[in-house]
Structure 1
Amino acid sequence: MLRKILAVVCGIISGSLLVGLIEQINHRLYPFPKGFHQDDMVAFKEYISALPVTGLLMVILGYALGAVAAGFISTKIAKSGKKTYALICGGIFLLFTIYNMIVLPTPVWFWFLGIAVWGLVLVGYQLALQKNNIR
């Protein structure tokens, strides 16, 4: 049981690290305005609204890489061959993504991709099965 909990926690951590890394790269490409404070929600919404499509696609790329990593790591640690742990990670990330899309201004296409991309935890799951020969 502890291994299964650890699998989900490590999946979430690895996915979060990749999402954060891509978002840091995105902030270097599209820096915050001078005097910007991330705790100012109005300013943050303005920043998101002004991001070009490529900036929003970078966020989706981060989600995609995070999903694959979470699915891979959770499956590898769980060592059960079940996709349950990858799906739990994907579900948790999906909830956070939906929350972000509700509070931040995002276009409709971002909603579709932002929701669909978390299905990539199953790609990570499959990669872990192939690498470990767990079946």
Structure 2
Amino acid sequence: MLRRILAVIAGMISGSIGVWLMERLGHALYPFPSGLRPDDIEGFRAYVENLPFMGKFIVILGYALGALLAGFISTKVANNGKPTSAIICGVIFTFFTIYNMVMLPTPFWFWVLGIAVWGLVLAGYKLALNNKQV
């Protein structure tokens, strides 16, 4: 039981790092406006609303990377061959994604991809199983 809990925690941490890395790339390409404070939610909403397509799509790519990492790492740590840990990570990340999309102005396509991409935890799970057999 403890191993499965640790698997979900490890999956969430690795998935978060994947998302963070891609978002850092996005912020390097599309920097925040000067003077934007971390507590300025309205300023951040305006930034997201005016972000070009590629700036938003990089976030989706981050979600994809995060999903693959979370599925892979949680499956490796759980070491039981079951997708349960990966699915739990995907569900938790999906809820966080929905919360972000409710709080920020995101287009319809972002909603569709932002939710669907977390299914890639199962691809990460499959990759972890394939590596186990090698």
TM over 0.5: yes
C-alpha distance in 2, partners of 1:112/1:97?
Answer: 11
C-alpha distance in 2, partners of 1:24/1:104?
Answer: 18
The structural deviation recorded for 1:133 is 2.5
Question: Secondary structure at 2:37's aligned position in 1?
Answer: coil
The yes-or-no answer on 1:112 pairing with 2:116 is no
C-alpha distance in 2, partners of 1:133/1:90?
Answer: 24
The structural deviation recorded for 1:121 is 0.1
The residue number in structure 1 matching 2:40 is 40
C-alpha distance in 1, partners of 2:129/2:65?
Answer: 18
Question: Secondary structure at 2:115's aligned position in 1?
Answer: helix
The residue number in structure 2 matching 1:124 is 124
The structural deviation recorded for 1:4 is 0.5
The residue number in structure 2 matching 1:56 is 56
The residue number in structure 2 matching 1:88 is 88
The residue number in structure 2 matching 1:28 is 28
Question: Secondary structure at 2:81's aligned position in 1?
Answer: coil
C-alpha distance in 1, partners of 2:124/2:133?
Answer: 14
The residue number in structure 2 matching 1:17 is 17
For structure 2, the residue ranges without an aligned partner over 5 or more in a row are none
The structural deviation recorded for 1:67 is 0.0
Calculate the TM-score normalised by the size of structure 2.
0.98
The structural deviation recorded for 1:39 is 1.4
Question: Secondary structure at 1:123's aligned position in 2?
Answer: helix
C-alpha distance in 1, partners of 2:130/2:75?
Answer: 11
Moved over 3 A (4+): none
The residue number in structure 1 matching 2:102 is 102
The structural deviation recorded for 1:38 is 2.2
Look up the equivalent residue of 1:24 and give its one-letter code: R
C-alpha distance in 1, partners of 2:133/2:96?
Answer: 32
The structural deviation recorded for 1:112 is 0.1
C-alpha distance in 2, partners of 1:89/1:43?
Answer: 30
The structural deviation recorded for 1:66 is 0.3
Count of aligned pairs between the two proteins? 134
Deviations 1:43-82 (A, max 9, x none): 0000000100000000000000000000000000101111
The residue number in structure 1 matching 2:75 is 75
Quote the RMSD (CA, aligned, Å). Answer: 1.0
C-alpha distance in 2, partners of 1:37/1:47?
Answer: 12
